[in-house]
Amino acid sequence: MSWLKKDPNSIRSPAGLEWRIWKKLPLIWLVGTVVPLLLAGATWLFYPEQPDGARDPAVMRFEFIMIGVVILHWTLVLTVAIGCGIVMLMKGPNYKADSYPMPDSDEPL
Protein backbone atom coordinates (compact mmCIF):
# COMPACT_ATOMS: atom_id res chain seq x y z
CA MET A 1 0.00 0.00 0.00
CA SER A 2 1.45 3.36 -0.97
CA TRP A 3 1.53 6.07 1.65
CA LEU A 4 0.12 8.77 -0.55
CA LYS A 5 -2.18 8.53 -3.53
CA LYS A 6 -2.42 11.11 -6.29
CA ASP A 7 -5.76 12.79 -6.46
CA PRO A 8 -7.07 12.06 -9.98
CA ASN A 9 -8.84 15.45 -10.09
CA SER A 10 -5.80 17.47 -9.10
CA ILE A 11 -4.33 20.07 -11.43
CA ARG A 12 -0.60 20.65 -11.56
CA SER A 13 0.27 24.34 -11.68
CA PRO A 14 2.62 25.51 -14.44
CA ALA A 15 6.27 26.02 -13.61
CA GLY A 16 7.28 29.57 -12.92
CA LEU A 17 10.15 31.59 -11.54
CA GLU A 18 11.15 28.90 -9.04
CA TRP A 19 12.52 26.57 -11.74
CA ARG A 20 14.56 29.34 -13.37
CA ILE A 21 16.06 30.24 -10.00
CA TRP A 22 16.59 26.55 -9.11
CA LYS A 23 18.58 25.95 -12.30
CA LYS A 24 20.78 29.01 -11.71
CA LEU A 25 21.55 28.23 -8.06
CA PRO A 26 24.70 26.13 -8.69
CA LEU A 27 26.25 28.92 -10.75
CA ILE A 28 25.20 31.54 -8.19
CA TRP A 29 26.69 29.40 -5.41
CA LEU A 30 29.94 28.89 -7.31
CA VAL A 31 30.45 32.53 -8.28
CA GLY A 32 29.51 33.77 -4.81
CA THR A 33 32.02 31.39 -3.28
CA VAL A 34 34.93 31.76 -5.67
CA VAL A 35 35.03 35.56 -6.05
CA PRO A 36 35.40 36.45 -2.33
CA LEU A 37 37.83 33.60 -1.76
CA LEU A 38 39.94 34.73 -4.71
CA LEU A 39 40.02 38.24 -3.28
CA ALA A 40 41.02 36.93 0.14
CA GLY A 41 43.63 34.65 -1.43
CA ALA A 42 45.04 37.51 -3.49
CA THR A 43 45.58 39.62 -0.40
CA TRP A 44 47.14 36.63 1.35
CA LEU A 45 49.58 35.95 -1.49
CA PHE A 46 50.43 39.39 -2.81
CA TYR A 47 50.38 41.66 0.21
CA PRO A 48 53.93 42.03 1.58
CA GLU A 49 54.55 40.68 5.05
CA GLN A 50 56.13 42.72 7.78
CA PRO A 51 59.81 42.05 8.50
CA ASP A 52 58.92 40.28 11.77
CA GLY A 53 56.43 37.97 9.98
CA ALA A 54 53.33 39.75 11.29
CA ARG A 55 50.33 40.48 9.08
CA ASP A 56 48.70 43.85 8.65
CA PRO A 57 45.50 43.94 10.76
CA ALA A 58 43.56 45.67 7.97
CA VAL A 59 44.45 42.91 5.52
CA MET A 60 43.53 40.20 8.04
CA ARG A 61 40.22 41.97 8.72
CA PHE A 62 39.51 42.01 4.97
CA GLU A 63 40.25 38.28 4.74
CA PHE A 64 37.94 37.50 7.66
CA ILE A 65 35.22 39.67 6.11
CA MET A 66 35.54 37.75 2.84
CA ILE A 67 35.21 34.44 4.70
CA GLY A 68 32.12 35.84 6.43
CA VAL A 69 30.70 36.93 3.08
CA VAL A 70 31.14 33.38 1.74
CA ILE A 71 29.37 31.85 4.75
CA LEU A 72 26.55 34.41 4.50
CA HIS A 73 26.24 33.68 0.77
CA TRP A 74 25.97 29.95 1.44
CA THR A 75 23.16 30.49 3.95
CA LEU A 76 21.31 32.76 1.51
CA VAL A 77 21.63 30.24 -1.33
CA LEU A 78 20.43 27.46 0.97
CA THR A 79 17.45 29.57 2.04
CA VAL A 80 16.50 30.31 -1.57
CA ALA A 81 16.91 26.62 -2.46
CA ILE A 82 14.57 25.62 0.37
CA GLY A 83 12.06 28.23 -0.80
CA CYS A 84 12.24 26.96 -4.39
CA GLY A 85 11.76 23.39 -3.17
CA ILE A 86 8.70 24.33 -1.16
CA VAL A 87 7.15 26.18 -4.09
CA MET A 88 7.84 23.24 -6.42
CA LEU A 89 6.21 20.84 -3.97
CA MET A 90 3.22 23.08 -3.48
CA LYS A 91 2.68 23.41 -7.25
CA GLY A 92 2.82 19.65 -7.77
CA PRO A 93 -0.15 17.30 -7.91
CA ASN A 94 -2.39 16.89 -4.89
CA TYR A 95 -1.95 13.81 -2.76
CA LYS A 96 -4.44 12.38 -0.35
CA ALA A 97 -4.00 10.04 2.54
CA ASP A 98 -6.35 7.23 3.48
CA SER A 99 -9.61 8.61 4.73
CA TYR A 100 -11.02 7.67 8.08
CA PRO A 101 -14.35 8.55 9.69
CA MET A 102 -14.31 11.55 11.99
CA PRO A 103 -15.90 10.67 15.34
CA ASP A 104 -17.08 14.23 15.97
CA SER A 105 -18.48 14.80 12.49
CA ASP A 106 -21.86 16.52 12.24
CA GLU A 107 -22.94 14.49 9.22
CA PRO A 108 -22.66 10.71 9.29
CA LEU A 109 -21.35 8.85 6.26
For the segment 67-98, what is each residue's pLDDT rounded down to a tens digit? 999 999 999 999 999 999 999 888 888 777 76
- What are residue 5's DSSP bridge partners? 96
Indicate if the pLDDT at residue 43 is higher than 70: yes
Q: What is the mean pLDDT of the chain?
A: 85
pLDDT on residue 108: 59
pLDDT on residue 5: 76
pLDDT on residue 62: 92
Q: Considering only 7-11, 32-36, 58-62, which range has the smallest mean pLDDT?
A: 7-11
Question: Alpha carbon of 100 to those of 6, 36, 78, 94, 105: distances in Å?
Answer: 17, 56, 38, 18, 11
Residues 25-51 have a mean pLDDT of 90
Residue of 25 and 51 predicted with greater confidence: 25
pLDDT on residue 64: 94
As a whole-number percent, the residues of the chain with pLDDT over 70 amount to 87
Distance CA 12, CA 19 (A): 14
